[in-house]
């Protein structure tokens, strides 16, 4: 493939993007094709390539600027490239393939609109970035945030994350802590001479089992928190009482908490236990920001098409990067997020068409 057609039906464009393998750290080819297509098939955009990030923006002097951002990478392919179309038992047409949900269908919608919306009522910024599916240190949007922050200025950011055609507002924060216990090693035949560090995990696990998750309503979006053990480690050999054990705990917290407040909360949950507490990873949440004028207009466009509406985003996404800069940000794209990364990942083609229509109405002011 030497080119992609941005003016093609966004369903066909999604299939074309899926057929370009772009596992994280291997996005050069897809970034080159996206850059070339934007340069050759759009009008009025300033276009910049930064590593494997492709950026484009208009300068029409309009009163508001909308950012549309999507990642180009996928998780490893699982015998699901090239793409294929299937009609299910209900007669619905599905597009199968790696990244069809997460998130090449969202990318296709943004690219198609960039090429076909001639007179937007907002100035537009498009960001197609790499390495979202792996460690945050490699995230291309993070690189832009640090090295070209002026490209992140705007009044509303729309991330093409799969949301089933709903507006999923903001996101929850995430925190991982490692709780370690210490004991005394001994031969298991003389266990009374030791102190089993794994057994010392029991009160930690008990508190997790009894934990009651908080629900928080922000701007009409209900966020439900969760505190979960996600990894347990311990043991030396089959005949040794272990002297060390640890459990990793993940806290998904509502965006009304800061990271420091989340840390304090988790410390309080395990207060009084004999353990070592270490924060291993954290990322703040993002408030929904649905009261901002640009966000209200998007909601009105979605409602005018009789679509799903608005709900909270439970997982963490890159909307957090925009919210930290005071920019309202939402997740909005085709596809069921529960199908992301699966071998049978697939998206209803009607959702791609519907999301395209809703965003076209929003960008042209035809609400």
pTM: 0.87
Separation between Cα atoms, residue 346 and residue 349, nearest integer Å: 9
Neighbouring residues of 266: CB distance < 8 A, sequence distance ≥ 6: 175, 177, 227, 249, 251
Q: Would you give per-residue pLDDT tens digits along the chain (367 residues)?
A: 678 999 999 999 999 999 999 999 999 999 999 999 999 999 999 999 999 999 999 999 999 999 999 999 999 999 999 999 999 889 999 999 999 999 999 999 999 999 999 999 999 999 999 999 998 899 999 999 999 999 999 999 999 999 999 999 989 999 999 999 999 999 999 999 999 999 999 999 999 999 999 999 998 899 999 999 999 999 999 999 999 999 999 999 999 999 999 999 999 999 999 999 999 999 899 998 888 888 888 988 888 887 668 999 888 889 999 988 999 999 999 999 999 999 999 999 999 999 999 999 999 998 6
Q: Is residue 5 part of a domain?
A: no
307 and 163, same structural domain? yes
Work out whether the CA dihedral 228, 231, 236, 238 comes out positive or negative. Answer: positive
Give the residue from 283, 310, 328 where a domain finishes: 283
142 and 50, same structural domain? yes
Separation between Cα atoms, residue 94 and residue 291, nearest integer Å: 35
Residue 102: count other Cβ atoms within 10 Å of its Cβ. Answer: 28
Beta bridge partners of 70: 128
305 and 250, same structural domain? no
Give me the pLDDT at residue 308, please. Answer: 67
Residue 110: count other Cβ atoms within 10 Å of its Cβ. Answer: 26
210 and 95, same structural domain? no
326 and 274, same structural domain? no
83 and 29, same structural domain? yes
158 and 63, same structural domain? yes
Give the residue from 252, 283, 314 where a domain finishes: 283
**What is residue 255's three-state secondary structure?**
coil
Q: Is residue 35 part of a domain?
A: yes
Separation between Cα atoms, residue 113 and residue 330, nearest integer Å: 18
Number of domains, the chain: 2
Q: Is residue 3 part of a domain?
A: no
Q: Is residue 179 part of a domain?
A: yes
Q: Are 228 and 249 in contact (CB under 8 A)?
A: yes
Give me the pLDDT at residue 57, please. Answer: 98
Residue 45: count other Cβ atoms within 10 Å of its Cβ. Answer: 18
Q: Is residue 2 part of a domain?
A: no
Q: Is residue 184 part of a domain?
A: yes
Ranges assigned E (strand) in the chain? 45-50, 53-58, 65-71, 84-87, 93-96, 123-129, 156-159, 167-169, 173-182, 186-187, 215-218, 221-224, 226-234, 240-241, 244-253, 276-283, 310-312, 329-331, 346-348
For position 242, which CATH number holds? Answer: 3.30.70.360
Q: Which of 107, 15, 18 is nearest to 333 (CA)?
A: 107
74 and 140, same structural domain? yes
Q: Is residue 80 part of a domain?
A: yes
Separation between Cα atoms, residue 141 and residue 187, nearest integer Å: 52
Separation between Cα atoms, residue 203 and residue 194, nearest integer Å: 19
**Element (DSSP H or E) covering residue 161:** none
277 and 293, same structural domain? no
Give me the pLDDT at residue 307, please. Answer: 67
Decide if 246 is catalytic. Answer: no
For the record, the structure tokens of 270 come out as: 């395990």
Q: Which of 27, 35, 73, 123 is catalytic?
A: 73
Alpha-carbon dihedral angle through residues 209, 211, 213, 214, given to the nearest 10 degrees: 180
Q: Are 133 and 74 in contact (CB under 8 A)?
A: yes
Q: Which of 107, 130, 132, 133 is catalytic?
A: 132
For position 47, which CATH number holds? Answer: 3.40.630.10
191 and 167, same structural domain? no
Decide if 73 is catalytic. Answer: yes
Which domain, by its residues, includes 45?
Answer: 10-171+286-364
Separation between Cα atoms, residue 53 and residue 140, nearest integer Å: 6
Helix, strand, coil percentages, rounded to 5, for the chain: 35, 30, 40
Separation between Cα atoms, residue 296 and residue 245, nearest integer Å: 50
220 and 143, same structural domain? no
Give the residue from 237, 268, 283 where a domain finishes: 283
Q: Is residue 200 part of a domain?
A: yes
358 and 248, same structural domain? no
Give me the pLDDT at residue 314, please. Answer: 85
């Amino acid at each position: 493939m030497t080119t992609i057609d941005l003016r093609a039906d966004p369903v066909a464009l999604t299939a074309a993007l899926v057929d370009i393998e772009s596992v994280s750290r291997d996005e050069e080819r897809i970034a080159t094709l996206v850059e070339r297509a934007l340069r050759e098939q759009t009008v009025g955009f300033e276009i910049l390539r930064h590593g494997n990030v492709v950026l484009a923006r208009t300068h029409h002097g309009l009163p508001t600027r909308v950012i549309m951002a999507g990642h180009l990478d996928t998780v490893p392919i699982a015998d699901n490239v090239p793409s294929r179309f299937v009609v299910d038992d209900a007669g619905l047409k599905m597009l199968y393939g790696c990244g069809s949900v997460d998130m090449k269908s969202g990318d296709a919608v943004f690219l198609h609109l960039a090429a076909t919306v001639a007179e937007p009522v907002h100035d537009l910024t498009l960001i197609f970035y790499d390495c979202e599916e792996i460690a945050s240190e490699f995230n291309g949007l993070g690189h832009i945030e640090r090295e070209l922050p002026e490209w992140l200025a705007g009044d509303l950011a729309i991330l093409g994350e799969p949301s089933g055609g709903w507006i999923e507002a903001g996101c929850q924060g995430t925190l991982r802590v490692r709780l370690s216990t210490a004991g005394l090693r001994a031969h298991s035949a003389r266990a009374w001479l030791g102190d089993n560090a794994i057994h010392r995990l029991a009160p930690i696990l008990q508190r997790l089992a009894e934990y009651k998750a908080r629900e928080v309503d922000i701007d009409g979006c209900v966020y439900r928190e969760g505190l979960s053990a996600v990894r347990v480690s311990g043991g030396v050999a089959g005949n040794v009482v272990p002297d060390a054990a640890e459990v990793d705990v993940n806290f998904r917290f509502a965006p009304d908490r800061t990271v420091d407040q989340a840390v304090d909360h988790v410390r309080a949950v395990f207060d009084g236990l004999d353990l070592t507490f270490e924060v291993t990873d954290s990322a703040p949440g993002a408030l929904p920001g649905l009261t901002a004028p640009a966000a209200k207009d998007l909601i009105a466009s979605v409602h005018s098409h009789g679509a799903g509406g608005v709900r909270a985003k439970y997982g963490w996404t890159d909307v957090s990067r925009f919210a930290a800069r005071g920019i309202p940000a939402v997740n909005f794209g085709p596809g069921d997020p529960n199908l992301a990364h699966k071998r049978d990942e697939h998206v209803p083609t009607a959702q791609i068409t519907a999301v395209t229509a809703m965003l076209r109405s929003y960008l042209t002011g035809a609400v």
